[in-house]
């Protein structure tokens, strides 16, 4: 079982991380529902507990239902070997693996200074629109001419899933494709692991030298260093050494340098010295362009209506938008069926529910009746006069667009009307919007108000 758990972990975290942190784990006894694992130092024990504790527990449970808890304990090499009898008594098939010398494992890590670049994240696959055009232009510029005055450091910031990592990888790929430039890209988190591993193996000098030998250093998600004072300090020195030597630095974070409180002042100041580029939240237009590009690349025909629907519903970030589209495409490929609005709502039911902007049908009814000055009760009344029926249809249309309620559910909220009535209302409103610009503007205005 332990062999299996270890192998799974190795596959999940990759060889380097595995060797650096996990290889030295020694299997201890299984008692009742608790399995004990030994690590040679407290440092490693705490680290493994913090980083991999939950996952270890899950993996063990998958292998052996009886295991409810994984206990991590410190046991030095000598101790482990001194107590094999007790261990063996508890678990018959125990293996005692001699921990590998620490220095050796970190040396391996050193060869792998930079994380690999994702080949999918290129400038070509990045869709440019108003919210990201400035950041995109800066990234391109740095990729063309690293270390140009005014662009060093390049600081990219913006919310989650808006393309920061994508742009950094694109810079890296562009620069390394020429072959002559050495680029190191890593997350701030990785930077910290590496730094700590170097301290532990007393190889900080090599670590520093290696970092300072690159032409371009890119550190992703710098906000991770908040509160990690020693690592910040180290990064600050590396940063200065590189900039002084005319090398390019690219950094990303979720906030602007001035808003990254918790970073040392002098570091913040230096980060803001070059080019600071903000990636703004996506607009509807950008979301549509991104969806179109990704749908095209997938080779699956996705109707424009579906793309619009997704762009309306999933506004948080590109990653989620992409995730939703990928699921649709996978589904279409798997079942050989074409994508329709109905199948979309079905396949993405859970995602859409989570993204419901929690606009309620009641809210829609209220806003629409206020807008056309009719009584709220007329939303569910039987009156069919145009002055009442038209707003009611608009409200149904908006309910369909802005919530993930089904047609029958919507019908029920409008005085128990049938789902075909709702369907008719939706298509009627669409028709009118195409023919009557003023009406279309009214509806769009209402939609925007409701979306907040
Ligand atoms: P961040 O690092 O800002 O959290 P990522 O760069 O990881 O975001 O982007 C999340 C996902 O969205 C990635 O798969 C990325 O390729 C995609 N993505 C983000 N912005 C764009 C864009 N403008 N064009 C194409 N794909 C994008
Ligand atoms: Mg990122």
Question: Residues 6 or more apart from 184 whose CB is under 8 A from it?
Answer: 113, 114, 211, 214, 216, 217, 218
**Of 318, 334, 355, which marks where a domain is finished?**
355
How much is the pLDDT for 78?
A: 45
Sheet containing 34-39, strands listed edge to edge, beginning at the edge strand earlier in sequence: 26-31, 34-39, 69-74
What domain range is 297 assigned to?
Answer: 284-355
Q: Whose CA is nearest to atom 5 of ligand 1?
A: 163
CATH number of residue 232's parent domain = 3.40.50.300
On whether both 272 and 291 belong to a single domain, the answer is no
How much is the pLDDT for 27?
A: 86
CATH number of residue 407's parent domain = 1.10.1750.10
How much is the pLDDT for 83?
A: 36
**Of 355, 372, 395, which marks where a domain is finished?**
355
Kindly list the protein residues whose Cβ atom lies closer than 6 A to any atom of ligand 1. Answer: 121, 125-127, 132, 158, 160-166, 290, 318-319, 322
How much is the pLDDT for 452?
A: 56
Which uninterrupted H or E stretch holds 276? strand 275-279
pLDDT in tens, the chain (452 residues): 888 888 888 888 777 677 777 888 888 888 888 888 988 777 778 778 877 888 888 888 888 888 888 888 887 654 433 333 333 333 333 333 333 333 333 333 434 566 788 999 999 999 999 999 999 999 999 999 999 999 999 999 999 999 999 999 999 999 988 777 899 999 999 899 888 888 888 888 888 888 888 999 999 999 999 888 888 999 999 999 999 999 999 999 999 999 998 899 999 999 999 999 999 999 999 999 999 999 999 999 999 999 999 998 898 889 999 999 999 999 898 888 899 998 998 888 888 877 766 788 999 999 999 999 999 999 999 999 999 999 999 999 999 988 888 899 999 999 999 999 999 999 999 999 999 989 998 998 898 788 75
Return the ligand 1 atom nearest residue 318 CA.
12
Tally the C-alpha atoms within 13 A of residue 409's C-alpha that lie toward its C-beta.
Answer: 9
On whether both 77 and 176 belong to a single domain, the answer is no
On whether both 181 and 307 belong to a single domain, the answer is no
CA torsion angle 215 221 227 229 (round to 10): -10
Q: Report in angstroms the alpha-carbon separations of 273 from 88, 183, 186, 236, 414.
A: 61, 21, 21, 14, 58
* Residues 215 and 146 sit within 8 Å (Cβ to Cβ): yes
Q: Which ligand lies nearest to the CA atom of residue 115 in the structure?
A: 2
On whether both 86 and 134 belong to a single domain, the answer is no
How much is the pLDDT for 103?
A: 34
On whether both 304 and 262 belong to a single domain, the answer is no
Of 326, 321, 328, 319, which Cα lies nearest the Cα of 284? 321
On whether both 164 and 274 belong to a single domain, the answer is yes
What distance in angstroms lies between residue 353's CA and the mean position of ligand 2's atoms?
25
How much is the pLDDT for 80?
A: 39
Question: Residues 6 or more apart from 165 whose CB is under 8 A from it?
Answer: 121, 220, 252
On whether both 191 and 245 belong to a single domain, the answer is yes
Sheet containing 275-279, strands listed edge to edge, beginning at the edge strand earlier in sequence: 183-187, 216-220, 248-253, 154-158, 275-279
Tell how strand 183-187 and strand 26-31 pair up.
Answer: unpaired
Report residues near ion ligand 2: CB below 5 Å.
164-165
Of 27, 7, 33, 17, which Cα lies nearest the Cα of 72? 27
On whether both 261 and 371 belong to a single domain, the answer is no
**Of 279, 298, 315, which marks where a domain is finished?**
279
Does residue 105 lie within any of the structural domains?
A: no
* Residues 159 and 206 sit within 8 Å (Cβ to Cβ): no
Residue 415 tokens, joined: 């005085």
ipTM value for the complex: 0.99
Pocket perturbation via mutation, ligand 1, pick of 128, 167, 318, 322 by most ligand atoms within 8 A of CB? 318
Which uninterrupted H or E stretch holds 22? none
CATH number of residue 339's parent domain = 1.10.8.60
Q: Which ligand lies nearest to the CA atom of residue 291 in the structure?
A: 1
Return the ligand 1 atom nearest residue 279 CA.
3
Q: Whose CA is nearest to atom 1 of ligand 1?
A: 161
How much is the pLDDT for 112?
A: 53
Q: Which ligand lies nearest to the CA atom of residue 224 in the structure?
A: 2
């Amino acid at each position: 079982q332990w062999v299996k758990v270890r192998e799974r972990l190795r596959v999940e975290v990759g060889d380097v991380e595995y060797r650096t942190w996990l290889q030295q784990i020694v299997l201890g006894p299984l008692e009742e529902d608790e399995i004990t694992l030994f690590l040679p130092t407290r440092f490693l024990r705490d680290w493994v507990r913090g980083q991999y504790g939950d996952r270890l527990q899950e993996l063990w449970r998958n292998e052996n239902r009886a295991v409810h808890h994984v206990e991590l304990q410190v046991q030095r090499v000598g101790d482990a070997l001194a107590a094999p009898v007790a261990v063996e008594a508890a678990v018959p098939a125990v293996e005692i693996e001699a921990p590998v010398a620490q220095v050796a494992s970190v040396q391996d890590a050193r060869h792998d200074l930079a994380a690999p670049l994702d080949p999918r994240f290129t400038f070509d696959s990045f869709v440019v629109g108003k919210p990201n055009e400035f950041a995109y232009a800066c990234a391109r510029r740095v990729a063309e001419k690293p270390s140009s005055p005014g662009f060093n450091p390049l600081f990219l910031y913006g919310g989650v899933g808006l393309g920061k990592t994508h742009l950094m990888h694109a810079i890296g790929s562009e620069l390394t494709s020429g072959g002559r430039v050495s680029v190191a890209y890593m997350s701030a988190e990785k930077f910290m692991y590496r730094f700590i591993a170097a301290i532990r193996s007393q190889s900080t000098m090599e670590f520093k030298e290696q970092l300072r030998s690159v032409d371009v250093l890119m550190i992703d998600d710098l906000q991770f260093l908040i509160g990690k004072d020693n690592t910040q300090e180290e990064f600050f020195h590396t940063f200065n050494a590189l900039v002084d030597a005319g090398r390019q630095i690219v950094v990303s974070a979720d906030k602007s340098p001035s808003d990254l409180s918790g970073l040392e002042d002098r570091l913040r100041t230096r980060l803001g010295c070059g080019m600071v580029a903000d990636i703004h939240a996506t607009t509807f237009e950008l979301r549509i362009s991104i969806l179109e590009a990704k749908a095209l690349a997938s080779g699956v025909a996705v109707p424009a209506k579906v793309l619009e629907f997704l762009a309306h519903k999933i506004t948080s970030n590109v990653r989620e938008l992409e995730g939703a589209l990928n699921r649709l495409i996978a589904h279409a490929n798997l079942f050989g069926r074409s994508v329709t609005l109905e199948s979309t709502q079905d396949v993405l039911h859970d995602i859409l529910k989570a993204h419901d902007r929690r606009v309620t049908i009641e809210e829609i009814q209220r806003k629409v009746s206020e807008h056309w000055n009719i009584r709220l009760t007329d939303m569910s009344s039987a009156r069919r006069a145009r002055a009442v029926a038209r707003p009611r249809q608009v409200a149904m249309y908006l309910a369909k667009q802005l919530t993930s309620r089904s047609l029958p559910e919507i019908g029920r909220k409008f005085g128990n009307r049938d789902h075909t009535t709702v369907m008719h209302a939706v298509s009627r409103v669409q028709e009118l919007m195409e023919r009557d610009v003023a009406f279309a503007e009214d509806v769009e205005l209402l939609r925007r108000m409701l979306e907040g």
